[in-house]
Amino acid sequence: MKTASASKTPSPDKIPLYEKLVYGAADLFGGGHNTILSVILLYFFTDILGINPALAGTIILVSKFWDAIIDPVLGSVSDNTRSKFGRRKPYILTGAILIIPAYALLFAPISNVSPDSLKAGFAAASYIFYCTAASLSQVPFMSMSGDISPDFKERNSANLVKLVFDMAAAAVCYLAPTALVDLLNDGAISVQTFYFSIVFGFGLVFSIPLAVSAFVLKERVPAPKARSKFDVKEWFAAFRVKSYRYHIFMYITAFLCIDIVSALALYYVNDVLRGVTVFGRQIGSIYVIAPMMTAAAAAVPFCYRLMKKKSKQFAYRVGLPLYALGAVLLALFDVSAMNGIFVPLFALIAGLGLGGAQMMPWLIFPDTVDVAELKLGCRPTGAFSGAMTFARTLVSAVAIQAVGLVLFAAGYKESPAKAVVQEPSVLLAIRLLLGISVVVLLSLAFAASMKYKVTDKKLARVRLFNEKNRGGISLTAEEQAEKEALLKELA
């Protein structure tokens, strides 16, 4: 019989509220830095530094290829680290320290540097350094989503808090950098003010919480005693797990849409919507970004309730048609015949569909690691998070390069924004990229979500079998049959 004091003893799997808040705040960088780069980096290279879009896209492609290479390596390194501070936290802290110098180099105001090859080389080297610094913290930090607790309910709770911070950071990092670009284009601020706002404004907000998390977070899932050397074949084992493959596909297709829409946002506003007004004022990027992100945030509680009532994959796909509809309506917006107020309205429609697609892949990731452990007999969370970031980084690099090449082929003229009226071929290219790519990618995302079969009920059984395997406890014949059925369906 349990005593009163024993019954009040907190479970070792339970994550205290303060730790969940620190964990969430640490993801301000994870939610914000990709947003900043996807929204303004290509535009910064072309219209502020004066690099042609094809070369700018190539710089991003090369840098992201490097990012894709080091992500799985860093995942394996953190998996095999056995320091007194844990496996992940030493790298999280190091990455946090490097954030500010990485921003300082990446957004250096070098528009007057010549020749152009030197300018492009500096931009490429700076972006490679930035990608290295970001991966150093983010690959181990992503692994914490599976290591912070073995209890999937506690993980869901902690990761939901993280997603609130993530989406708040994404909203701010859509709005603030584009507002800074608008101010820069209007001559209201100097390039130097823009530079210091990015470096120290965002740099400090990102680096401090991430550094604090390195001292506060706990890794409750025990590290395996055995270490393993990095092996590309073992890393590709992640893609042998059926549920992981569908999860990755859901993740990269939805976030590719976000990357493409983000990369096009400033071009769309400054070129396609040139001359369009709202309430008597020239339309700015805030009229697209603000309603989209506000609606996405408003959709989160609804998506969470759907997740609890139905499943994570259902909550993920329910808004995809709205997301696609909003993007298509923006692409088809008639500048000469339609009122500018329709632009924020269409963006709001897209945002309502964005909530589930943006939040669910992060909640699904630790579940797929549980399923992988059932199949592989080990839990290489770092390698799996590295594989996840590798997949997204690789396809994102190709997508952004494609945007740059299409704009270049259409005849885009790089210059200080609004100084040049682009040719109709450029405007058509922006519209087609915005509309067609989103519809195609979200159709694929919807199909992948229908194939993903992991549920909370199945996860409870998966955890039981994993714990017995770790403890060397044999399964009964009935349990073995159930395990085989789960492996066939999920893994």
Q: What pLDDT is recorded for position 94?
A: 94
- Residues in contact with 481: Cβ distance below 8 Å, sequence separation at least 6, in sequence order: none
The mean pLDDT of 255-272, rounded to a whole number, is 86
Is residue 397 situated within a structural domain?
A: yes
The mean pLDDT of 27-55, rounded to a whole number, is 87
Average pLDDT, the chain: 86
- The answer to whether residues 194 and 180 touch, using CB atoms and an 8 Å cutoff, is yes
pLDDT tens track for 91-126: 999 999 999 999 999 999 888 888 888 999 999 999
At 170, is the pLDDT very low, low, confident or very high (cuts 50, 70, 90)?
confident
Is residue 61 situated within a structural domain?
A: yes
- Residues in contact with 476: Cβ distance below 8 Å, sequence separation at least 6, in sequence order: none
Residue 407 has pLDDT above 50, yes or no: yes
Distance from C-alpha of 290 to C-alpha of 129, rounded to nearest angstrom: 31
Joined together, the tokens standing for residue 303 give 């998506």
Residue 278 has pLDDT above 90, yes or no: no
Residue 233 has pLDDT above 70, yes or no: no
DSSP secondary-structure letter at 86? B
Regarding pTM above 0.85, the answer is no
Residue 483 has pLDDT above 70, yes or no: yes
Is residue 387 situated within a structural domain?
A: yes
Residue 86 has pLDDT above 90, yes or no: no
pLDDT tens track for 295-341: 888 888 888 889 888 999 999 999 999 999 999 999 999 988 899 89
At 443, is the pLDDT very low, low, confident or very high (cuts 50, 70, 90)?
very high
Q: What pLDDT is recorded for position 444?
A: 94
Question: In terms of C-beta density within 10 A (0-12 exposed, 13-18 middle, 19 or more buried), how is residue 334 classed?
Answer: exposed
* Residue of 29, 131, 130, 123 whose CA lies nearest to 70: 131
pLDDT tens track for 357-367: 888 888 898 89
- Residues in contact with 375: Cβ distance below 8 Å, sequence separation at least 6, in sequence order: 240, 241, 487, 491
Q: What pLDDT is recorded for position 7?
A: 47
Residue 277 has pLDDT above 80, yes or no: yes
The number of angstroms, rounded, from the C-alpha of 20 to the middle of its chain's C-alpha atoms is 19
Encoded amino acid at 277, one letter:
T
Q: What pLDDT is recorded for position 3?
A: 47
Distance from C-alpha of 22 to C-alpha of 217, rounded to nearest angstrom: 8
Q: What angle do CA 400, 401, 404 make, to 5 degrees?
A: 90
Question: In terms of C-beta density within 10 A (0-12 exposed, 13-18 middle, 19 or more buried), how is residue 398 classed?
Answer: middle
Is residue 129 situated within a structural domain?
A: yes
Is residue 462 situated within a structural domain?
A: no
Q: What pLDDT is recorded for position 182?
A: 81
Is residue 425 situated within a structural domain?
A: yes
- Residues in contact with 368: Cβ distance below 8 Å, sequence separation at least 6, in sequence order: 241, 243, 244, 247, 384, 454
Q: What pLDDT is recorded for position 418?
A: 61
* Residue of 72, 355, 35 whose CA lies nearest to 237: 72
Distance from C-alpha of 27 to C-alpha of 142, rounded to nearest angstrom: 9
Question: In terms of C-beta density within 10 A (0-12 exposed, 13-18 middle, 19 or more buried), how is residue 13 classed?
Answer: middle
Distance from C-alpha of 365 to C-alpha of 344, rounded to nearest angstrom: 33
Q: What pLDDT is recorded for position 193?
A: 92
Q: What total of structural domains would you count in the chain?
A: 1
* Residue of 193, 222, 78 whose CA lies nearest to 136: 78
Q: Say what percent of the chain tops pLDDT 90.
A: 33
pLDDT tens track for 3-28: 444 445 567 789 999 999 999 999 99
Distance from C-alpha of 7 to C-alpha of 295, rounded to nearest angstrom: 43
**CATH code, 285:** 1.20.1250.20
- How are beta strands 277-278 and 281-282 bridged, if at all? antiparallel
Q: What pLDDT is recorded for position 261?
A: 85
Joined together, the tokens standing for residue 284 give 């700015």
Return the residue matching tokens 């991966």.
135
Expressed as residue numbers, the domain containing 402 is 16-220+232-454
Residue 389 has pLDDT above 80, yes or no: no
Q: Say what percent of the chain tops pLDDT 70.
A: 94
- Residue with more model confidence, 4 or 393: 393
